[in-house]
Structure 1
Amino acid sequence: MRTWLIVAPSLSLLALLGLSAMPTSGRQTKVSPKALTLEQTAWPFFTENCVGCHNAQTKSGALDLASLRRAGSVTHSRETWESVIRKIQTGEMPPEGSPRPDLAKIKALSLRVEREFDKVDRAAASNPGNVTAHRLNRAEYNNTVRDLLEVNFRPADDFPQDDSGYGFDNIGDVLSLSSSQMEKYVNASEKIARTALFGTDPLQPTLIRHEEAGRKLVTGPLVPARYDATGLNMPNSRHAMHRFPVDGEYLFRFGLNGVRPLGSEAIRLALWVDGKKVQTLDFDPTGSAAFSQDRQDFSGRTQECRFRMTTGDHWVAATIENLYEGLPAEYGGPNPSKRRIEPPVFKPRAGLTEAEIEERRKRFEARLKEKAPTNDVRVSFLEIGGPYAQKQGAANASLRKIFVCGHLHGGHSPDCTEKIVSNLTRRAFRRPVTATEVARFASLVSLAQKQGDTYEEGVCLALQGILVSPHFLFRIERDPQVAKAGTPHLLTQHELASRLSYFLWSTMPDDELRRCADQQLLRKPDVLNTQVRRMLKDPRSHALAENFGGQWLQFRALESAKPDRDRFPDFDDYLRMSMQQETEMFLDSIIRDDRSILTLLHGKYTFLNERLASFYGIPGVVGPAFRKVSLAGTARGGVLTQGSVLTVTSYPNRTSPVLRGKWILDNILDAPPPAPPPGVPNLDVSAVGSAKSLREQLEEHRKNPTCASCHSRMDPLGFGLENFDAIGAWRKKDGEVAIDSSGSLPDGRKFNGPDGLKTVLKTDNDAFVQGLSSKMLTYALGRGLERHDRATVKDISKQVAADDYRFSSMVLEIVSSRPFQMRKGNSIQ
């Protein structure tokens, strides 16, 4: 639990977090906090507003404020001070019915206490903290094995999920190692070593069919968001996430269905892999297909192609590129698919009422049945078979990583084993190794040979031993021999290189980082600056977007999100994948292009494919490939309005202003509200969207005094996003009730909709920067932050603001900070 949160960085943030500006008990008084001592500022305020209940006699809430008059109480009673100030700021105290304190006095008290906190924190800032020996989490293990040996599979995907702490799964304190996990590491080490040295065993080809999803008949009131660009919501393609077990050639078979009129042009099929078109096939609609009057029936017809795939999970799509379904029925050209016409009345969010959409849909479908085919050709299934032409033996890239000498025609010089093992252990352990360590693993090569195995089998055994060593499985930072217990000391150059690489890449240092560490160069500011900028430009920095961003913004949870399929039939695995990729690519662009971190909230561009663009109601995006798209003139912009975030901050069957408001407080402002008290009744969900709006339900909920203080902070922020439904589609109504996306903050400021909400957030960029700094420092260190880190967070935030909020500035300030460059003693040796 964070107990070190900054209490009052600015007045606007205080207002945003709920600092009361209601009618006061007297006129506002100008206070100069610098001229007053803490006792002079605090005690008169407490006497006027608090001591009547919180004194030695009554001790309301088990609190006697006289304890805060003692010298040094800011240090000795820090938690009490923080609790008192927080409750005053949020309006929880004084309680309902008591006169509200003067706003200027609250500000003066908050700033004065904050200065005292800052003084204490800076006195403790010499403590860089201690990081527990850090077991590689699943992502780090997969990436490290990949870069160590150039093997193209993900062994840790079969490991148990990693525990999380402070919002991240790379926290050393929670990354334990059980006996069952150790067994998995042992089994994985054998598979990894044998794959690197001998390749994978040939697999028998298999054939897996990805069927057409069942179609839903929409009944009841029609919701515009349920219609795709044609207005009929009929899928014409197949999409699937498919796991390819090994590198090899695979068969892709398209199953077709539907009819076309005589004279239509050839069907053009396309195979897409991970958003890129890799194959096209033209299928002439003449030949042996069955005919009925003037139509050609494609039911049961198939087309196939082959393509070489790499190991791992890939998103595969089979599409028909030249469709005419949805053209006006009166268009009778010989090749209708050559003209791309979409009836605008069926586009989602076209401004029509539900009744108008229903009437036009019926009229269109009636005419369509009379003058045009109603069932254009579509891909009904996709079969993937293989592997075929599987490569035998180890990959040359893997062998080059292992055999750094010898291995020419089976010959090895006498010192080859030592060189091979030394290279492997040095890279695997991410530090220089001792002769004793090399000899220990080299002896396994000799042992295997004595038992009749080949030299390669001996190296395989040594590699297995290296892969189950604690020095590979853990990132261990050791104390200098001369260091006193508990004394801060600098990390070694190689330890610093590892912190850098696992922070930015979630993997081991590369050759250039190791070279800088070997030459003792990494602490030179110009070298560190160059290396950080190089690493951020490298494609491996995608790990920062995926692992840090995915957990900070919580869009990792999208994988397990299960929106109600009856309420939200548009939501499928393809849309889920598209939402996640949008956010990851958006973060990637900020990282690699070194944009302002404020773009995260206010950027008016994103990355879309046709599926997601159609869902958002943004025209002009065709095909599965993602591309940069301007959001000018739309209500979207920044992560707050992306489908991934909006979905994970909703319930399966409805939106939640509470969840969304809490998400903003926790992840954007790093000021999470406390957990709700036990016994608080839930909303009457059945009434939402019919008899009562969600806003009305929450207003009744806030009548409970226990709930009011927190909900007054959360709910207004969440209501600003209420025009987005539970999967992020824009809407104007929730069932029968018109959406009200206005919000009113406790200080009286009002806003409306997502743009208004972001304008409010923009009034205090420091709050966002400080929150992001603390989150990223937590991730970079792999530990929770303590009070002695608070001054570091403030210094990082201040420098980032001075550097135009550049992303690289935040990273450089973090990796140059005392907590990142140093550690306190007493680690595992």
Structure 2
Amino acid sequence: MIVGSVVLLALLAYVFPVKTGEDPQIVESSMIAKAPHPLIGKYCMGCHDSVEKTAGVAFDQMSLSNPDRNGEMWEAAVRRLTSGMMPPAGSARPTERENMEMIRAITTRLDAANPAPAPTVLRRLTRTEYGNVIRDMLGIHVDATTLLPPDPAVKGFDNIGEVLTTSPALVQGYLNAGMKISQLAVGDPNLTSSRRVFTLPHKLNNDRYIEGLPLGTRGGKRTMVLFPVEGDYMFEVRLGAGSTLFQKFGGGKLPKVDLTVAGKAFPVDKDGKAWVHVRAGEYPVTTALRDNDLGPGVDDIYSTYNIRGAIVDFAVQGPFRAKSGGRTVSRDRIFTCYPRKPYEERTCARTIVARLASQAFRRPIAEQAPEMDLLMRYYDLGRKTGNFESGVQRALAYILVDPRFLYKVEQEPRGIAPGIIYAVNPVELASRLAFFLWSSAPDDQLMASAISGKLTQPAELERQVRRMIADRRADALADNFAQQWFRLKELDSAERESKDFDDNLRYAMGQETKLLFQSVMRGDRPVTELLNADYTYVNERLARHYGMPGIKGDYFRRVALPADSPRRGLLGQASILTVTAVANRTSPVIRGAWVLDNILGVPPSPPPPGVEVNLDAAGKTPTTLRERLAIHRKSAVCATCHNMMDPIGLSMENFDQVGKWRTLDGKLPIDATGSLVDGTQLNGIADLRSALLRRSDAFTATATSKLMTYALGRPVTYREMPAIRQVLNDASRQNNRFVSLVLGIVKSQPFQTRTKPGPIAGVGPVRSTQAEPPKSEKKRKAA
């Protein structure tokens, strides 16, 4: 036996010889000597040296004395150390003190390098911004999704300038939109009759009353509809297949259609049509169902299958027999003067056109400025073929297709050399601020502050920011920024194989998350409240989904959550849980990746080419998702990312694919246990939430980076990270309240300056183009 063991040991020594000089202590000393920092050599270079070069990172080939050369790699290292996602599971890990020392050593050198902000490309308006500017400028609501093609998204946001290109189709869309909007705004009596269709969600539950619609109705929708001129309009309401099925199988009559325009009810004939004379203006239109008498039990039998009828859409066609004139919000905003004599027309028109151009181009334009000559030529063309209003309408149509309207133009000072950083002027700063907070153009108050030069003063800038966040237009931060950050736009197209999922619930899910974000924003609450809020917002439909008793009605109200509620914060909300699932089941991988990207700021790499990502593709499918993921992690290629994602996603398994709480997956009990990379043990959503709160610095940094990306309209790089760390440092004194983060961003160098692109772009002096340079720049010069 002993002889056999000796032979085996000798054989192993022959096959796997011990290399001279590979004593672990000697190897570690060698790594430390080659490392840019001793702790990096001790904990990181086992995988990240010039031999292993895992993920393409070799710290022995990188230097902290010149971090600008490998800025992105150093910033990635900081994010992973801050989030606790490195070193990987099973490796020696630094103590908390050592971890902070590494982060401090790297960031101190990165910040001292002070790289110039990345150059800003010319950006056009997004589809959302276009619609908002039209709303605020002319007072009419247009559905930009029907006028313009969708915008591509980068880093989760659709306002990134580098991909907002212009195509022939987009140019044609702008031309058509400009002509149509100008006619609607002016109220052109020669407006061609058109048909506008308003579609209702195809999974809307029409069995219940919906808040805001007439009492005694069920289902339906309330829509604001613009009637550009006074005249007759034909309404046509189309019912869905449910009505036919009810007539065939239920033995009853079709439900009545309830139609109201501006609060007044109008009868609808058997074909679903109604003629209504409407004065010019924008009014609420409601369409809903009102049942005839039903036989006993019919409601209970057929409502499950939604065969009592459903409104698919309604159309408005007109105007017919249109009348000119009339008073609307848009006409009041356009015709601030009106000529009484023919000789007054051109003077009044010049006043109107100059004001509209100033609003559209987002900078003051004097009535006698040379650039007015071209705009007035379009007025003259319209006047020749019509009247005074026709001329104004033609000039407005041109303004709405002018590049100065469609693009966020910023003037470059003369004589600026490549690489020089220069401050944007106050008017351009106002435009940046308005599109950041409102996704729209500056209002009169903000523009007046900019023209006077006061906006560059820190106290005035803060006053304007607080005013703007309190304004309803700041809902754009929830509707636009937060929706894209949390991927809520995917909720609109999500299809889930669940009897609990319908469009009423879909709407309620998204509304809950937006209301939570608005509460943190308008209440100036710490951003970490998004992770652990002890309250939420629900209506009856969502409360029923969550199992919350006593909530009646379709309106949303704030409800308190107990300390042990699984619904506290974003990770307990059905919107997030639904967009991170797939049609027929949950997805721990997607949920884990969502948390890594949007909470911790360390998005996992996409799977390498050739790797099988279908968990059901194996010949013998295991019983549970957990078992399938365990098999997937046996591949070393997959394990690196899945060891980070899977435990996070599995801890959320008590929520099904539409965010409903469960204790069983089929007939098997849910196992929500796991272990994070840093060894933190998880058993369900409460443990995950606690673990993330202990890493709240990572979440605050992620939130700030997302805000900065959205505010700048370009992806944040290592060049902007020193400014972001300054924002975080200043905001930490205010408990990381939302407004303190926003103020830090709008006062930062990347937000207030531009860098002229060129081959020698880098650190350089800021050249002022405004009355006073940013405060941060004064400090930098003083230093």
- Alignment TM-score, normalising by the size of structure 1: 0.73
Give 1:432 deviation, angstroms: 2.1
2:527 — aligned with what? 597
The amino acid that maps onto 2:358 is: R
Question: 1: distance between equivalents of 2:416 and 2:385?
Answer: 47
The amino acid that maps onto 1:658 is: V
Question: 2: distance between equivalents of 1:463 and 1:124?
Answer: 49
The amino acid that maps onto 1:380 is: G
Match of 2:377 among 443, 457, 460: 443
Question: 1: distance between equivalents of 2:710 and 2:727?
Answer: 15
Give 1:761 deviation, angstroms: 0.8
SS class of match (1:788): coil
Give 1:153 deviation, angstroms: 2.1
Question: 1: distance between equivalents of 2:734 and 2:76?
Answer: 34
Give 1:617 deviation, angstroms: 1.4
Match of 2:347 among 399, 407, 415: 415
Q: CA 1:172/1:393 → structure 2, altered by over 3 Å: closer, same or farther?
A: farther
SS class of match (2:674): strand
2:69 — aligned with what? 76
1:197 — aligned with what? 186
For 1:48-76, what per-residue CA distance to the aligned partner results, in whole angstroms no more than 9, with x for missing partners? 8469x845xx98998876534x6846443
SS class of match (1:618): coil
2:309 — aligned with what? 380
For 1:61-106, what per-residue CA distance to the aligned partner results, in whole angstroms no more than 9, with x for missing partners? 98876534x684644345566678889999999999xx943534x9
CA contact (8 A) 1:49 1:94 kept: no
Q: CA 1:569/1:436 → structure 2, altered by over 3 Å: closer, same or farther?
A: same
1:149 — aligned with what? 138
The amino acid that maps onto 2:172 is: E
The amino acid that maps onto 1:750 is: Q
* Mapping of residues 788-803 of structure 1, within 5 Å: 788-803=719-734
2:694 — aligned with what? 763
2:557 — aligned with what? 627
Mean Cα deviation higher: 398-407 or 646-655: 398-407
1:137 — aligned with what? 126
Q: CA 1:188/1:79 → structure 2, altered by over 3 Å: closer, same or farther?
A: closer
Match of 1:536 among 469, 472, 475: 469
1:163 — aligned with what? 152
SS class of match (2:531): helix
Question: 1: distance between equivalents of 2:353 and 2:365?
Answer: 10
Q: CA 1:375/1:716 → structure 2, altered by over 3 Å: closer, same or farther?
A: closer
Q: CA 1:305/1:760 → structure 2, altered by over 3 Å: closer, same or farther?
A: farther
2:411 — aligned with what? 478
Mean Cα deviation higher: 652-661 or 79-88: 79-88
Give 1:640 deviation, angstroms: 1.4
Give 1:799 deviation, angstroms: 2.3
Question: 1: distance between equivalents of 2:621 and 2:277?
Answer: 52
CA contact (8 A) 1:121 1:788 kept: no
CA contact (8 A) 1:257 1:301 kept: no
1:103 — aligned with what? 94
Match of 1:586 among 516, 527, 536: 516
Q: CA 1:71/1:672 → structure 2, altered by over 3 Å: closer, same or farther?
A: closer
CA contact (8 A) 1:149 1:196 kept: yes
Question: 2: distance between equivalents of 1:576 and 1:809?
Answer: 33
* Mapping of residues 665-704 of structure 1, within 5 Å: 665-685=596-616, 692-704=623-635
Mean Cα deviation higher: 470-479 or 580-589: 580-589
* Mapping of residues 13-24 of structure 1, within 5 Å: none
Give 1:790 deviation, angstroms: 0.7
CA contact (8 A) 1:249 1:387 kept: yes
The amino acid that maps onto 1:645 is: I
CA contact (8 A) 1:141 1:156 kept: no
Match of 1:739 among 651, 654, 670: 670
For 1:454-501, what per-residue CA distance to the aligned partner results, in whole angstroms no more than 9, with x for missing partners? 222222222122111110000011112353343211111111111111
SS class of match (1:166): coil
Question: 2: distance between equivalents of 1:137 and 1:621?
Answer: 39
Question: 2: distance between equivalents of 1:171 and 1:71?
Answer: 31
CA contact (8 A) 2:427 2:447 kept: yes
CA contact (8 A) 1:237 1:380 kept: no
For 1:579-616, what per-residue CA distance to the aligned partner results, in whole angstroms no more than 9, with x for missing partners? 12222222222222222212211112222222221122
SS class of match (2:416): coil
The amino acid that maps onto 2:92 is: P
Q: CA 1:207/1:426 → structure 2, altered by over 3 Å: closer, same or farther?
A: closer
1:553 — aligned with what? 486
The amino acid that maps onto 1:427 is: Q
2:540 — aligned with what? 610
Question: 1: distance between equivalents of 2:662 and 2:277?
Answer: 42
Mean Cα deviation higher: 625-634 or 708-717: 625-634
For 1:359-397, what per-residue CA distance to the aligned partner results, in whole angstroms no more than 9, with x for missing partners? xxxxxxxxx99xx98679995344857569998546432
Say yes or no: does 1:814 pair with 2:748.
no
Question: 1: distance between equivalents of 2:735 and 2:81?
Answer: 34
CA contact (8 A) 2:577 2:659 kept: yes
For 1:528-585, what per-residue CA distance to the aligned partner results, in whole angstroms no more than 9, with x for missing partners? 112111111111111110100010000111112122xxx4122122221221222222
Question: 1: distance between equivalents of 2:196 and 2:64?
Answer: 76
Mean Cα deviation higher: 76-85 or 176-185: 76-85
CA contact (8 A) 1:689 1:736 kept: no
Q: CA 1:668/1:124 → structure 2, altered by over 3 Å: closer, same or farther?
A: same
SS class of match (2:553): coil
Q: CA 1:258/1:399 → structure 2, altered by over 3 Å: closer, same or farther?
A: closer
Question: 1: distance between equivalents of 2:557 and 2:695?
Answer: 32
SS class of match (1:606): strand
1:174 — aligned with what? 163
The amino acid that maps onto 1:403 is: F
* Mapping of residues 305-384 of structure 1, within 5 Å: 318=289, 380-382=309-311, 384=314
Say yes or no: does 1:425 pair with 2:425.
no
Q: Percent identity?
A: 33
Q: CA 1:136/1:689 → structure 2, altered by over 3 Å: closer, same or farther?
A: farther
User: Which consecutive unaligned segments of at least 5 residues does structure 2 have?
Assistant: 1-23, 206-216, 248-254, 759-783
SS class of match (1:751): strand
2:761 — aligned with what? none
SS class of match (1:196): helix
CA contact (8 A) 1:487 1:824 kept: yes
The amino acid that maps onto 2:477 is: L
SS class of match (1:417): helix
Give 1:416 deviation, angstroms: 2.4
SS class of match (2:309): strand
CA contact (8 A) 1:212 1:380 kept: no
Q: Aligned residue pairs: how many?
A: 695
* Mapping of residues 202-213 of structure 1, within 5 Å: 203=193
For 1:764-788, what per-residue CA distance to the aligned partner results, in whole angstroms no more than 9, with x for missing partners? 2111111000000110111111212
CA contact (8 A) 2:34 2:60 kept: no
CA contact (8 A) 1:124 1:788 kept: no
Q: CA 1:252/1:59 → structure 2, altered by over 3 Å: closer, same or farther?
A: closer
SS class of match (2:754): strand
Question: 2: distance between equivalents of 1:413 and 1:206?
Answer: 34
The amino acid that maps onto 2:512 is: E
For 1:117-176, what per-residue CA distance to the aligned partner results, in whole angstroms no more than 9, with x for missing partners? 424432443624322111000000011112112223224533111011221111111111
2:776 — aligned with what? none
The amino acid that maps onto 1:679 is: G
Q: CA 1:484/1:749 → structure 2, altered by over 3 Å: closer, same or farther?
A: same
